[in-house]
Amino acid sequence: MLKKPVYLDYHATTPVDPEVVEAMIPYFTSVFGNAASRNHSFGWSAESAVETARKQIADVIGANPKEIVFTSGATESNNLALRGVAEMYKSKGNHIIVGRTEHKAVLDTAKFLETQGFQITFLPVDEFGMVELSVLENAITEQTILISIMAANNEIGTINPMEEIGKLAKEKGIIFHSDAVQAIGKIPVDVQKWNVDLLSLTAHKIYGPKGIGALYIRRKSPRVRLSPIMFGGGHERGMRSGTLNVPGIVGFGKAAELVLKNLSTEPERLYKLRSRLHAGLLAKLDETKLNGHPVKRLPNNLNVSFAYVEGEALMMAIPDIAVSSGSACTSASLEPSYVLKAIGIGEELAHSSIRFGLGRFTTEEEIDFTIEKTVEAVNRLREMSPLYEMAKEGIDLKTVQWTAH
């Protein structure tokens, strides 16, 4: 029996896995100690649980547990990585390179650093949203202290060439940070193979709780040092003060353990479901465009533009399916996604895009329901669109001169 509404917005957040909830419950009630209380068993039990989780998370990315610093989420991790490096290494240089399609947590932090006198290069990407090595290499200067490139894009699913970027950064002696939030659990992530020095993670994208994240900070070759952005108590080796969220950390650890357990089967299952969804839409609808790389993309991501249909209108026409659109609603206007603009998608097509994000609990039945309802809605909306009719009649809409009354 199909349960509605169908959730296909797994890039935004994921439901907490029942096994994760079960692992967390004791740490709200019986094991409630502060992990920094070193004088009694309540504190020791909490600290022990935190260290277990640190190892579980480190294991997912091929790191040492001592290289994991807990934060409140990926936004804080990204802030700590960029601002921490900028402050600590400003005597070495003032130039930072970030990808143009990064998450706002990276872009807005970079824009803040610009106001502090740092030179920021917002690196363009190719038509698939991928960073090109030659463009990156040309952007590097004597003053470059940090490169920040996401492992996989949250909107279009494109996976960046992480090993090559890491190799280049290491050769040049530049610190390499990656926001790997979307990659964990979908593709293998290895900080050694990637030569990454800083890596941002969050629990709520991998079926863990919200409000807990981590930053991997390399300890040797090179040892990366960061200036903290929060003070008070010197927790997490002085990198991030504040009482640790023990239940959240335990949940994050359990979620990471499940990721490792499912990594050999889950990406393949998601890929098959995603392919079924894409093929189903393509078979029944013309004038559709896949956004992002056709092959080097996350197995659970499908971002499609349906020409002559407003993304917002389409979302309203499929109320039983939770997806997101290529327009970001700001307080005053409806702007097309900056990611789609960065890969050269025109404004009209950008406004017509929908992101389908599949996950652990997505079923074949849900995919078939999504195909059926999306096709119905697109056809209905296109019937109401004179533009679609004109395009079908072979009229080049770019040459039409519209008159205002």
Strand order in the sheet with 213-217: 68-71, 213-217, 198-202, 175-179, 144-148, 95-99, 119-123
Residue among 135, 316, 329, 334 flagged as catalytic: 329
Instruction: Please say whether the beta carbons of 66 and 219 come within 8 A.
Output: yes
Instruction: Please say whether the beta carbons of 201 and 215 come within 8 A.
Output: yes
**Identical fold between 18-262 and 265-399:** no
Whether residue 329 lies in the annotated active site? yes
Cα–Cα nearest to 67, from 227, 242, 157, 197: 197
| CATH class of the domain at 18-262 | alpha beta
* Angstrom distance (rounded) from CA 232 to CA 1: 52
* Angstrom distance (rounded) from CA 120 to CA 178: 16
Cα–Cα nearest to 161, from 132, 193, 136, 192: 132
Instruction: Please say whether the beta carbons of 165 and 136 come within 8 A.
Output: yes
Token output for 336:
């097309």
Give tens-digit pLDDT for 256-293: 999 999 999 999 999 999 999 999 999 999 999 999 99
Between helix 104-115 and helix 74-88 the angle, nearest 10°, is 30
Residue ranges per structural domain of the chain: 18-262, 265-399
CA–centroid distance for 97 within its chain: 18
* Angstrom distance (rounded) from CA 124 to CA 45: 48
Between helix 364-383 and helix 266-284 the angle, nearest 10°, is 30
* Angstrom distance (rounded) from CA 156 to CA 291: 6
CB-CB neighbours of 86 under 10 Å: 24
* Angstrom distance (rounded) from CA 119 to CA 262: 42
* Residues recorded for the chain: 405
Give tens-digit pLDDT for 16-64: 999 999 999 999 999 999 898 889 999 989 999 999 999 999 999 999 9
Phi, psi of 273 (to 5 degrees): -65, -45
CA–centroid distance for 279 within its chain: 25
Give tens-digit pLDDT for 55-79: 999 999 999 999 999 999 999 999 9
| CATH number for the domain formed by residue range(s) 265-399 | 3.90.1150.10
Q: For every one of its 405 residues, what pLDDT tens digit does the chain have, with 9 covering 90 and above? A: 899 999 999 999 999 999 999 999 999 999 999 898 889 999 989 999 999 999 999 999 999 999 999 999 999 999 999 999 999 999 999 999 999 999 999 999 999 999 999 999 999 999 999 999 999 999 999 999 999 999 999 999 999 999 999 999 999 999 999 999 999 999 999 999 999 999 999 999 999 999 999 999 999 999 999 998 888 888 877 678 888 999 999 999 999 999 999 999 999 999 999 999 999 999 999 999 999 999 999 999 999 999 999 999 999 999 999 999 876 554 445 678 999 999 999 988 999 999 999 999 999 999 999 999 999 999 999 998 877 777 777 777 666 665 665
List alpha helices for 244-288, DSSP H: 246-262, 266-284
